[in-house]
Amino acid sequence: MSSAQLNRAFVVLLKRDLTLAFRRRSEMVNPLLFFVLVTTLFPLGVGADPALLRSIGPGIIWVAALLAALLSLESVLRSDFEDGSLEQLMLSAHPLSVLMLAKVLAHWLVTGLPLLLVAPLLGLLLGLSGDAIVTLVQTLALGTPVLSLVGTIGVALTVGLRKGGMILSLLVLPLYIPVLIFAADAVTSTGAGLPVTAQLSLLSALLVLALSLTPAATAAALKISLA
């Protein structure tokens, strides 16, 4: 199999998933609405003190982003499993890990990228400084792909279960904690005038590690789940 054929299969699957996502706009909008609502309603519960909101704002935004990503995870493979497309992908001559990477990219473009675009407005709402907002965008750009990549492994393990949502949460949430810690700490440190090179480097390392390992792990999980 030539690399040109593999690249074509990757692009075709990516376009297919994006087209299906835009046809089901409610599934695409729900995580974004959840992200915005959680972030905007939180000040009503803790008060409108600017200093308090600046101190907890990074944590609020990142927890909301994590939960929004978790909310949208099942859409990565669920529809393909229900209509039989997933079995066809597994029987394809193309490497399953590359095909799974295309599906993860489509998922991030539909769910992760909108969070990245809306986050600066929410940062302003919570009183974050300009530098902190820049760091927030950087952490989301590095961290949300990791959430999609790692979460897809959990989806692959539970896709054959009728009610796998709770099991999926238990599998995935512990793996999300490092991203949450480093990302929120980077934004908080920027607001305090501290360097954030270490946190951003760790997030970059997590992204490279996830890109290297999770496609193959997802393919193996699918074979185990649907065996």
**Cα–Cα distance measured from residue 115 to residue 140, given in angstroms and rounded to the nearest whole number:** 8
63 lies in which domain range? 3-225
Place of tokens 């890109």: 211
Dihedral angle sign, alpha carbons of residues 133, 186, 64, 108? positive
**Cα–Cα distance measured from residue 38 to residue 3, given in angstroms and rounded to the nearest whole number:** 44
- The burial of 224, by beta-carbon neighbours within 10 Å (0-12 exposed, 13-18 middle, 19 or more buried), is given as exposed
pLDDT score recorded for residue 23? 82
* Count of CB atoms situated within 10 Å of the CB of 22: 10
CA-CA distances (angstroms) from residue 102 to 185, 214, 227? 31, 12, 22
Radius of gyration of the chain (CA): 18
Q: Which amino acid is at 101?
A: L
Buried b / exposed e over 26-55, threshold 16 CB at 10 Å, is ebbeebbebbbebbeebbeeeeeeeeebbe
Put residue 37 in one of left, alpha, beta given phi > 0 → left and psi -120 to 50 → alpha: alpha
CA angle 163, 114, 161 (to 5 degrees): 10
Residue 63 in tokens: 């927890």
pLDDT score recorded for residue 3? 78
pLDDT score recorded for residue 7? 84
CA atoms within 13 A on the CB side of 54: 13
> For each of the chain's 227 residues, which pLDDT tens digit applies?
567 788 888 888 899 888 888 887 777 788 899 999 989 888 888 777 788 888 888 999 999 999 998 888 887 887 787 777 888 888 788 888 888 999 999 999 998 999 999 999 999 988 888 899 999 999 999 999 999 999 999 888 888 777 666 788 888 888 999 999 999 999 999 988 899 999 999 999 999 999 999 999 998 888 887 76
**Cα–Cα distance measured from residue 175 to residue 12, given in angstroms and rounded to the nearest whole number:** 30
pLDDT score recorded for residue 164? 62
Place of tokens 């959840």: 34
Q: What's the number of domains the chain is made of?
A: 1
Of 87, 146, 105, 95, nearest to 16 (Cα)?
Answer: 105
Question: How high is the mean pLDDT of the chain?
Answer: 87
- pTM score over 0.75: yes
